[in-house]
């Protein structure tokens, strides 16, 4: 079901670029105290978790599992905001850092990517073993949203009462093309620079013997990075093969959890043509389209000194309804 979003942008932030960048600026001094945990994985690698509190202290509190975006972390403005809002609701927030995103490189060559759900599956099983009587929900931002769509389609027997997919590149090929056009190139450069830096660290650790630093420095687009790095180190034939196999749009029909999908039609990171393809006959999907919002922006309010971060209200209200709270 597709419906128009209730989001109304702040009068001083209608531009998609202002919406996209403002929260990063406005929340730059915000911080959130977390408890960190390292989970050792069966393949010899690890992921780092960030908890808003010790989950064993209040066994009655629901747990909300958060997946961040490309090269994000607990320090990303949207992650801090959402985790803080989860805590204010009286719930426990859990953010899983994708491999290599917690401030230290992972131990193996393969990286996380938009279709890599293995670690989410493993941590979900771990949560079910540790807290069999708890209520759970899960949400993902941007790349993490696409990962979440894939995960939900692969596993219908999860503990999650609801899910939220936020500003996700559900059609990877068109989104890769979109971010290489116009002003969006600014965001592309920012992301590619971070990807190159994290890849160089792994090269220095001899984890990527077939990647050359000089060739890496020539990469300027996300497509080229996916063609020359993401695809080969993760077992895909090419960027096209990766996009085809990893895009969440292909599997929305298989999701059996109540899932909120939020998309802004002015998001400068994403292509919007594929949105009209979200017409699968799946009563579990609640698709909300907004004319404004930018990429993970959605800032509302009349007072520039007191911005309202609408996403945190809308997403957690949706989750609360499924918790029955």
211 within domain boundaries? no
160 within domain boundaries? yes
312 within domain boundaries? yes
Nearest to 239 by CA among 249, 255, 228: 228
273 within domain boundaries? yes
Q: Which residues are part of the catalytic machinery?
A: 142, 267, 295
217 within domain boundaries? no
Beta bridge partners of 139: 66, 164
Residue 155 structural domain: 2-171+246-323
Token pair 């918790």 is at which residue? 323
Give the separation between CA 248 and CA 11, rounded to whole angstroms.
Answer: 33
300 within domain boundaries? yes
- Tokens (6 digits) for 160: 């999650």
Beta bridge partners of 141: 166
189 within domain boundaries? no
The whole-number pLDDT of residue 276 equals 66
Cα four-point dihedral sign 309, 163, 225, 196: positive
Q: What is the CATH number of the domain that holds 144?
A: 3.40.50.1820
Domain count, the chain: 1
Q: pLDDT (tens digit, 0 to 9) for every residue of the chain, 325 residues total?
A: 789 999 999 999 999 999 999 989 999 888 999 999 999 999 999 999 999 999 999 999 999 999 999 999 999 999 999 999 999 999 999 999 999 999 999 999 999 999 999 999 999 999 999 999 999 999 999 999 999 999 999 988 899 999 999 999 999 999 999 999 999 999 999 999 999 999 999 999 999 999 999 999 999 999 999 999 999 999 999 999 999 999 999 999 999 999 999 999 999 999 988 876 676 688 999 999 999 999 999 999 999 999 999 999 999 999 999 998 6
47 within domain boundaries? yes
Q: Which residues contact 151 (CB under 8 A, 6 or more apart)?
A: 117, 120, 121, 124
pTM of structure: 0.97
Strand pairing class (92-96; 46-51): antiparallel
Cα four-point dihedral sign 146, 194, 174, 299: positive
């Amino acid at each position: 079901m597709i419906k128009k979003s209730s989001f109304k942008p702040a009068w001083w932030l209608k531009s998609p670029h202002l919406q996209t960048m403002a929260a990063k600026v406005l929340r730059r001094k915000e911080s959130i105290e977390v408890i960190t945990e390292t989970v050792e994985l069966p393949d010899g690698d690890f992921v780092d978790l960030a908890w808003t509190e010790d989950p064993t202290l209040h066994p009655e509190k629901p747990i909300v599992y958060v997946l961040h975006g490309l090269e994000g972390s607990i320090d990303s403005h949207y992650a801090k905001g959402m985790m803080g809002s989860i805590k204010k609701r009286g719930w426990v927030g859990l953010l899983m850092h994708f491999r290599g995103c917690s401030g230290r490189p992972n131990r193996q060559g393969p990286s996380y990517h938009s279709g890599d759900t293995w670690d989410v599956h493993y941590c979900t099983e771990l949560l079910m073993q540790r807290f069999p009587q708890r209520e759970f929900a899960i949400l993902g931002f941007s790349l993490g949203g696409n990962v979440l769509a894939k995960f939900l389609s692969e596993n219908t027997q999860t503990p999650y009462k609801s899910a939220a997919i936020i500003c996700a590149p559900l059609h990877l090929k068109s989104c890769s093309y979109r971010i290489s056009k116009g002003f969006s190139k600014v965001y592309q450069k920012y992301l590619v620079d971070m990807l190159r830096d994290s890849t160089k660290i792994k090269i220095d650790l001899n984890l990527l013997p077939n990647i050359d630093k000089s060739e890496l420095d020539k990469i300027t687009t996300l497509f080229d990075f996916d063609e020359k790095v993401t695809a080969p180190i993760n077992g895909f034939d090419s960027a096209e093969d990766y996009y085809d196999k990893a895009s969440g749009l292909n599997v929305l029909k298989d999701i059996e959890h109540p899932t909120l999908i939020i998309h802004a039609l002015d998001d400068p990171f994403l292509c919007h043509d594929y949105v009209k393809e979200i017409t699968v006959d799946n009563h579990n999907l609640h698709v909300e389209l907004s004319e404004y919002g930018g990429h993970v922006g959605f800032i509302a309010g009349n007072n520039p000194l007191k911005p309202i971060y609408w996403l945190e209200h809308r997403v957690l209200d949706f989750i609360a309804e499924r918790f029955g709270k």
